[in-house]
Amino acid sequence: MPHGGGGFSGIEPVNGGYQATYSFNTTSNNVFILAYNGKTNINIYLRSVEKTGIYPLNYNTFDVTNQQDPFNYGYYQSEDGSEYLTNTQYNGEVNIVRADTIHKIISGTFNFTAFNKSTGKIVKVTDGRFDVKTH
């Protein structure tokens, strides 16, 4: 990974598309990915992405809306508004295959199983992919 860049930040959502990344602080390359279509959306958050490799989505992060800098998580919201989150039992991974902070490009694949704590239902997200250049 080239060094010397300012992290990943700065692009806005595209309707029916994606929002790529957002850096919560200047000392870490935190990555937030949002893909959506109507009310259905997928979020992935990774702390301190400093190199390519596999990042687990396996922490108990049940209330991401109230955490400024949560641990890695995968999130899925269905068309009916039901919310599913990864945790230690229902988890997954993100494989970062490119993390270039100089040119502000991040690419990878992901999959996860997530849990709805209200209903006890699970959802599987498979074959996810992203390739994003930020400003």
- Summarize pLDDT for 74-121 with one digit per residue, the tens: 999 999 999 999 999 999 999 999 888 777 788 899 999 999 999 999
Q: What is the pLDDT of residues 67-81, one digit of tens each?
A: 556 789 999 999 999
pLDDT of residue 28: 65
**pLDDT, average across residues 22-48:** 74
Q: Are 24 and 68 in contact (CB under 8 A)?
A: yes
The pLDDT of residue 3 is above 80: no
Separation CA 89–CA 96 (nearest Å): 22
Separation CA 55–CA 38 (nearest Å): 28
Separation CA 133–CA 86 (nearest Å): 26
Separation CA 72–CA 30 (nearest Å): 9
Q: Enter the pTM of the model.
A: 0.77
Q: Mind spelling out the 3-state secondary structure of 50-112?
A: CCCEEEEECCCCCCHHHCCCCCCEEEEECCCCCEEECCCCCCEEEEEEEEECCCCEEEEEEEE
C-alpha distances out from residue 49 to 8, 82, 104, 123, Å: 10, 29, 12, 26
pLDDT of residue 65: 54
